[in-house]
Structure 1
Amino acid sequence: MSKLGLKWTNPSEDSRALSTDIEAKCIYTHYLSAGITSTATTISPDPVFRPSSEVWYPDGSVVLVVRDVGFRVYPGILRQQSQRLAEILDESTKPGGTMDDGSVVVWLDYNSAEAVERLLKVMHNPAVQVNETLPFTVLCTLLDVSTHFKVTHIRLSTILALYHFFPPTLEQYWQTKDARRTISIGDVFLAANIARKTNTFSLLVSVLTFCVNQSSEVIHHGVPYSYSSATGNREGYGSGRIELLQENKLAILQARAKFPHLARTITLRDVFFPFPSSLCNRARCIAAKQDVGSKILQGSSIFEDSGFVSPLSEFRGLVESMAVRGSCAECCADMKECVRVGREEVWEKIPGVFGFDGGHSEWRRLVLEDGVNELSGIDSTVGFHAGEEAPAVERNLSKGIARRQRSRPSSQSCVVA
């Protein structure tokens, strides 16, 4: 029994005991949650928690409790970095509150103790790096929890780390294909849902762009949620499947109908709507374009078995296919340039496909609203500039992301949250 009734309970003493971690050294009962009514809560009559093995500073003066885990921390550090935590502490640390060994006990309204633990580790230890070397699911939970508690600098660092997988520029998006192959579809759906929940729209549009390429069945019904490499659990997914939020599903399904149209009318317009300047009258060149175009229209694309064609594809097989069919070198070169220019034009339209304004500088607006330019590496010197044309904006942002990645310490030299 600790001071003022905060008791530790063994499984043999209380049938309500709950195992929360396969590596936990002690198992304790949940505190009674019926009395919790807000972020700074009404205290239940007999609160119970187990101390965190990762965040428990002996000289800390506040114990934060999330679900059944307690974190003894330094309130000054929290106040400096989080407006919301400062407000919660102001409300909860008034005279007469519950104490434990001289520390004020404060309950936080959040569904994952593990996520809060990671957040507190980053807030208390400057050596903990938030970058793309962290497991993808850890980055997703950090984005959610840092947004929830308004820890702006950690939210921004997390967004930049997630840009390593889903960047807001076409150049970087294509260069990060290998990074995306390291994560599961279930984790991608998790990222889409958290990006929607946290209003991180530049990230959301990039993730949804990837999701459009999934099958309709997967988009509708979700996927089995594999055990996380970071946590080894399936917390929050009792059914064993993860599904997209309904709003994300609708956005993706609508985009699946628009993407092939963008491919035909923009990226591949020289196939379907050749301009006079690029029109070749050679019979073999015309026949080659007609053959390729008919296959796309019939849904028997030479690029995708399903007939779905992404307007962002480089269509390398297209030029080769035309050459095999007898197209001249000039037509092949014109087609390659048409695809290059078309992909850039389509990328600027992607936000509009998912329901945003879709103007010429919409990506720019979304990135700025997410606050990314406030971080080193993507600032006023390498980020967006007023009045800049979209291609230049994209190149500068790509350089900023790349520069920040080169300046990060290696995974071997940093502490991992």
Structure 2
Amino acid sequence: MTLDSHSAERPHVSGSGSPKPAIVIVARGESPELSDGQEKFISHTDFWLTDGNLILIAGDTAFRVYQGLLTRNSAVFADMFATAAADVTEMFDGCPVVRLPQVHPDDLRDFLQYLMPCSELRLRDGLPVSDFSELHAAIHLAHKYQCSSVETRALSVLKQYYTPHFVEYTRYSTSRPRMLRPPRDVAITAVNIARLTDTPSVLPFALYRVCTLEDQMKYRYRRRDGSVEHLSADDFRLCVGSRDTLAKVMEVLVDAVFNTRPSSRCKIAEQCMRALRDIFDNVELNALYECDVLDSYEDAIANWAAGFKLCRICEKAMLARELAQRRRVWKLLPGVFGMTVEECGFTTGAESSW
């Protein structure tokens, strides 16, 4: 059987009139002699279950899994076996063979890991974590094969970082998340995933992250199979247009946080006034035309306070203003990209969807 992952129609099952060459599946490192017309595949180290009753082939790798588990969770596989069980053209060790010619073996592994975990888990603080490429593969294959359970679970991990909740955004590094912090440039792919799966809560923050790429917004995410994906023309235009809006929001934030007078409780107002002016001049110069309005100034404020001799009272007041302004901007984010707070489920409080 051949399952074309790019086809939107029912998977094609090869007819018995054109049988494929016999296949040989061996463990990695083995080099058997092949007869004319035979094909060799390598059994996956983790996903080769000796009591499995279905073999999937992706690239040069064979996966022996459970047909019942796959068909129970995937509408595409269920339909394929329901309509073509009597038309199997390839077998190996008593198992039907399904070829996935346009699927990278690492992508299939990541999809199967969510469905029937067999690979060793990557742990951090005792909890399993994934990286973005693993989630990307699992979500795309789950969507192609209509496996809603895998898609929902993988999306729940993705939404820990591309979150609609300000509190979760600010606490990501310390909240034991299940996804390693992704590079900024994969936000382009996060936008595409949100569009593909109709997940509007991911869009505002993912689109914002794209805007902060500046001249790299045309970046193309290279998949494991060598294909590339990029922003749609509509989303590219949306991000280009939104950069000016974000730059103006940044001007307002910088003015509100840094262009102020000393606290009413300050004991060294003259010294702090000089420090505040120096800090504002420094920030204003570096923030001009920038879009990364949600990036925290917390560490920078601590350094500036020490360097410019700002008192602790004025430093705390500045930190409070900075947090309040970023919370305000968070609530504005959906509107920047033509959406509503309600549509995206955006909050600035302690609500959580994890």
What are the superposed Cα offsets for residues 34-62 of structure 1, whole Å, 9 maximum, x if unpaired? xx894421417343563642434454443
Equivalent in 217, 220, 227 of residue 219 of structure 1: 217
Structure 1 pair 251/174, CA: closer, same or farther in 2 (3 Å)?
Answer: farther
Contact 2:165 2:351 survives alignment (8 Å)? no
AA matched with 1:176: Y
Q: Secondary structure at the match of 1:53?
A: strand
In 2: Cα distance, 1:110 partner to 1:121 partner: 19
Equivalent in 136, 155, 161 of residue 159 of structure 1: 155
In 1: Cα distance, 2:95 partner to 2:79 partner: 18
* 1:338 is the counterpart of 2:321: yes
In 1: Cα distance, 2:68 partner to 2:135 partner: 25
In 1: Cα distance, 2:58 partner to 2:236 partner: 31
In 2: Cα distance, 1:132 partner to 1:168 partner: 23
Equivalent in 254, 257, 262 of residue 249 of structure 2: 262
* 1:47 is the counterpart of 2:37: no
Aligned to 1:368: none
Superposed, 1:183-198 pairs within 5 Å as 183-185=182-184, 187-198=186-197
Equivalent in 320, 345, 354 of residue 364 of structure 1: 345
Q: CA deviation at 1:88?
A: 2.7
Structure 1 pair 161/346, CA: closer, same or farther in 2 (3 Å)?
Answer: same
In 1: Cα distance, 2:68 partner to 2:199 partner: 28
Equivalent in 128, 132, 145 of residue 149 of structure 1: 145
Aligned to 2:198: 199
Equivalent in 89, 93, 111 of residue 103 of structure 2: 111
Q: Secondary structure at the match of 1:63?
A: strand
Equivalent in 273, 285, 291 of residue 300 of structure 1: 285
Superposed, 1:392-411 pairs within 5 Å as 392=349, 395-397=350-352, 401=354
Aligned to 1:250: 237
List runs of 5+ in structure 1 lacking aligned partners: 1-5, 7-30, 226-232, 275-281, 366-389, 402-417
Contact 2:19 2:90 survives alignment (8 Å)? no
* 1:311 is the counterpart of 2:293: yes
In 1: Cα distance, 2:56 partner to 2:281 partner: 64
AA matched with 2:80: I
Q: CA deviation at 1:313?
A: 3.6
In 2: Cα distance, 1:141 partner to 1:166 partner: 17
Contact 1:300 1:307 survives alignment (8 Å)? no
Contact 2:130 2:180 survives alignment (8 Å)? no
Q: CA deviation at 1:267?
A: 6.8
Equivalent in 75, 86, 99 of residue 83 of structure 1: 75
Q: CA deviation at 1:265?
A: 3.8
What are the superposed Cα offsets for residues 196-219 of structure 1, whole Å, 9 maximum, x if unpaired? 4333433343333333322x3222
In 2: Cα distance, 1:182 partner to 1:62 partner: 35
Q: CA deviation at 1:138?
A: 1.5
AA matched with 1:41: H
In 2: Cα distance, 1:153 partner to 1:118 partner: 14
In 2: Cα distance, 1:166 partner to 1:32 partner: 32
What are the superposed Cα offsets for residues 236-294 of structure 1, whole Å, 9 maximum, x if unpaired? 248xxx754444433332332121222334674476899xxxxxxx9999998888777
Contact 1:268 1:338 survives alignment (8 Å)? no
Superposed, 1:37-76 pairs within 5 Å as 38-43=9-14, 45-47=18-20, 50=41, 52-54=43-45, 55-66=47-58, 69-76=61-68
In 2: Cα distance, 1:219 partner to 1:115 partner: 25
Contact 2:59 2:105 survives alignment (8 Å)? yes
Structure 1 pair 149/119, CA: closer, same or farther in 2 (3 Å)?
Answer: same
Structure 1 pair 289/122, CA: closer, same or farther in 2 (3 Å)?
Answer: closer
Q: Secondary structure at the match of 1:47?
A: coil
Contact 2:75 2:146 survives alignment (8 Å)? yes
What is the TM-score with the length of structure 1 in the denominator?
A: 0.58
Contact 1:56 1:71 survives alignment (8 Å)? yes
Q: CA deviation at 1:143?
A: 2.0
Contact 1:284 1:325 survives alignment (8 Å)? no
Equivalent in 216, 226, 235 of residue 225 of structure 2: 235
Choose between structure 1 and 2 for higher RCO, CA contacts under 8 A separated by at least 6 residues. 2
Contact 2:111 2:139 survives alignment (8 Å)? no
What are the superposed Cα offsets for residues 4-33 of structure 1, whole Å, 9 maximum, x if unpaired? xx9xxxxxxxxxxxxxxxxxxxxxxxx898
In 2: Cα distance, 1:37 partner to 1:173 partner: 36
